[in-house]
Chains A and B, each alone.
Chain A
Amino acid sequence: MSKVSKKVLLKGNEVMVEAALSAGCRFFAGYPITPQNEVPECMSRRMPEVGGVFVQAESEVAAINMIFGASATGTRCMTSSSSPGISLKQEGISYIAAGELPCVIANVQRGGPGLGNIRASQGDYFQAVKGGGHGDYKLIVLAPSTLPELYELTQNAFDYSDYYRNPVMILGDGILGQMAEPVELKEYKPIVTLPEKDWILDGCEGRDPRVIKTLYLYPSDSLAVHNAHLKKKYEQIASELELFEEYKTEDCELVIAAYGMTARIAKAAIRLARDKGMKVGLLRPISLWPLANSAFMRLAETAKKFLVVEMSNGQFIEDVRLATECSVPVEFFGYGGGWYPTPENILERIEKVYTL
C-alpha cells in the first residue's frame, strides 16, 4: 500500500483485511462460511504480499487453535468467521483469554440459531459480550457501523489486544461484511504505547524457558489467583475503555440505543423523527464490552425513555436495562432470524413509543 491516503471502494470483509495488514497482522487462519468468505479469500491473496502466513484451516476449531499458536510467537494474528463458526471457536477463545494471548477475532454475524440463514443478524450479542466459552473471561468487543469505522477499529483492535493481552472481537454482521463503501486506507499509527512482548515463545536461547499454559492445578489456590489477576485486568479495561457515540442527544426525550448496523439505520430514522418535531437521539456503544454505562446513566437522567433497536429477539436490551438501572422505561424493537429494520420501520416504532 502506498503511504498516500486515498479512498477506495471495498466490501466490509475486504476492509478488515486491509486494516489488519496495515496494522501488522502477519498470520491469518480461517475457514469458509458465508457471509465472511471474502476475508479468507482476500487474506489468501494479500498475506503473501506482505510476507505473512495464511492458512486455510481444516475447521473453525483448528483455525482458532492456529491463532493460539501464532499469538504465542508474538505475531499479530487474526481469524474471522460467522456465527456457527464462532460457536465452534469458543473453546479456543476461552483458552486464548485464559492464556492472555492477543488476537483479533471477527464475527460477521448471520441469522441463527442453528444453521440459521446467511442474512445479517445481531443474535450473537450474548455470546460475544457475556462469554460464549467456558469460565470467567471477557472479550473486548467492538461494533463498527460504517466501513471507515470498521477500518479504524480493526487497526485499533490489534493495539487494544496487545496492550491488554486480551482477545478482541470485531462484532459485525452480514450487511457490514457484504456492503461496499469508499474507505480511506489510512496509515496505521498505534493508539497506545505498546508493551514489550516479554512472554512470547521463540526458543529459550539466552533466557529461561517459557511456558504458556491455562492449567492451574498446583498450588490448590493458583487458579483462584489467576482468576483474580484476570478480574483485575477486566476491571482496568472497563475503567479505561468506554467507546460510544452520541447523536442528537443534547435535548432528546427518547434515546435510541443501538449498535453496529442498526445504529446506522436508526440515525436515518432519527432525522425523519426530528423532521416531525420529535426529540429523538442515539446512543451508540462502539465497545459492547466494556459498555459505556456512565453514558447510559447520564442520558437516563434527562431522557424520558429508551428504545432499543437490535437485530435479535432482545439481547442488548438486557444490558441497556442494567446500564440505566431501570430508571427509565426501555422499549424494544427487534426480531431474530435475519431481519433488519428500515428507517421507516424504526420511525413507526418511535412514533408509537414517543407519545406513550
Chain B
Amino acid sequence: MADIQIDIERCKGCGLCVLQCGHGCLKMSEDTNESGNTYAMINGSKDKCTGCGLCCQMCPDVAISICNEKTNTKKNKS
C-alpha cells in the first residue's frame, strides 16, 4: 500500500506535483500554511495513490514522501 505524506509546512505551493499526478490524487489548498503559501493536499482519498512517486520526483522542496513497503525505511545508513 502506498502511504503518501505531505509536509504542508514545507510546501511552497508551486503546484508542480499536482501537474505530475496522473491519478488526480493531489490538489492545491484553498487556505495557506504558516509561511503563507497555499499547499498541496490529498484530493479526496489516499486510495487513488498508486505510489508511483512522480510527485516526489517533481517536488523541489522534498515535501512529499511515499512509503510503499513495510519492510525497510532505512535505505540510508545513519
Tell me if chains A and B make direct contact, with any CB pair below 8 A: no
